[in-house]
Structure 1
Amino acid sequence: MLKSLQEWVMLFVIIGFMILIGNWIGYDVMPLAAMPGIVTLALISLAGLVIHRLIGYKKIPSIAYIGILAFVLTIPGVPGSEQIVAWTSKVNLLAIATPILAYAGISIGRSWADFARLGWKTIVVGMCVLLGTYLGSAIVAEIILRMQGII
C-alpha cells in the first residue's frame, strides 16, 4: 500500500501543478489563491483512495468513496465545511478536467493492444460521439448568440 500511496501522491502533485497553471492562465485565478483548494481536493481524493484500499470491497469504485467523503465534508454545519467550500470554489472545473482527461488519454494510449481488441466499431462510435458533441455545441452556440443578437 505504501508504494501505491507514493504513486498517488506523486500523481496528485503533478496534476495539481497542471491544474494550478490552467486555473491561472485560463481563469485568471492567482496560484496562491487556488493552492488551498487544489490541496484540499487532492487530500480528499487521496483519503478516498486510501479508504477504498483499506475496505477492499472492489465492487464499489474509489470515486464513490471520494464523492461521499467530499459530500460529508461540505455539509453545512460540519466543522470546516465553509472553509473547504471557499477554498475549492477558487478552482475552476475545466482547469481540473483538462489534465485528468489528458492523463486518461495517456493511460489509454499505453494500451493500444486492448484498444485494438475492441475493434473498428469503437472507432466509428467514437467519431460519431465527437461529431455529435461538436455539432450539438455549435447548434446551441448559434441559437444562444442569435437570441442575444450578437450574430
Structure 2
Amino acid sequence: MRSIDIKKYLTYFLLMASTGIIVLAGQAIGLKKEFIGAVPGMLLIILLALLAYSIKDIFPKFPLPAYASATIIGMIVSLEALPISKFFAPQIGVVEFMPICTPLLAFAGISVGNKIEQLKAMSWKIVIISLVVFTSIFFACALIAQTVLTLQGRI
C-alpha cells in the first residue's frame, strides 16, 4: 500500500477541471444547456475520477485500471437502492454524455500517438487484428440489438 502524492492529485484536478470547463462550455453552446447549473455535477464526476485514481495508487496490484474503477464507482453511487444516489444522480445527470466523449477521444488519440513506435513494430499484423476486432464488435452489437428489439416486439 502506497501513500498519495498531493501535488500529483492537484495536477490531476487542474487538468480535469480545465477539461470539465471545456465540456460544460461545449454543452452550453452546442446543446443550449445551462453552464453554471452543471458545475456541481462536473465537480462530482471529477471527484469520483480522482477517487478511482487514488484506489489505483494506494493499491497498485488492484486488477482493474483506473477507468474501470471510475465506471464501477459511478455505477455504485447511481444505484437507486442506495440513499447517496438521491444526491449524486440528479447532480451528475445534468452533465450530458456526448460532450464528455470529445475530450476523452482526443486524450485516447494522444495516448496512442505517444506509442506510435510500438505500433510500427507490430507492422501489418495490427491491421489484421484491428479488422477482426472491429468486425467482431460490429456483429456482436448487431446481434445484441436484434435480440433486444425482437424481445421488445419492435421488429
Task: Please give the TM-score of this superposition, normalised by the length of structure 2.
Answer: 0.71
* Superposition deviation, residue 98 in structure 1: 0.7
Unaligned runs of 5+ in 2: 139-155
Q: Retained in 2: the 8 A contact 1:37–1:90?
A: yes
Unaligned runs of 5+ in 1: 134-151
Q: Retained in 2: the 8 A contact 1:15–1:100?
A: no
57-66 or 120-129, which moves further after superposition? 120-129
Pick from 117, 122, 134 the counterpart of residue 121 of structure 2.
117
1:12 counterpart = 2:16: yes
* Superposition deviation, residue 95 in structure 1: 0.6
* Percent identity for Structure 1 against Structure 2: 24
Distance in structure 1 (CA, Å) of the matches to 2:30 and 2:70: 26
* Superposition deviation, residue 107 in structure 1: 1.9
Within a 5 Å distance, the mapping from 1:72-151 to structure 2 comes to: 72-123=76-127, 129=134
AA aligned to 2:25 is I
4-13 or 87-96, which moves further after superposition? 4-13
Q: CA RMSD in A?
A: 2.7
Distance in structure 2 (CA, Å) of the matches to 1:92 and 1:14: 17
* Superposition deviation, residue 58 in structure 1: 4.3
* Superposition deviation, residue 11 in structure 1: 2.2
CA 1:117–1:3 in 2, change beyond 3 Å: closer, same or farther? farther
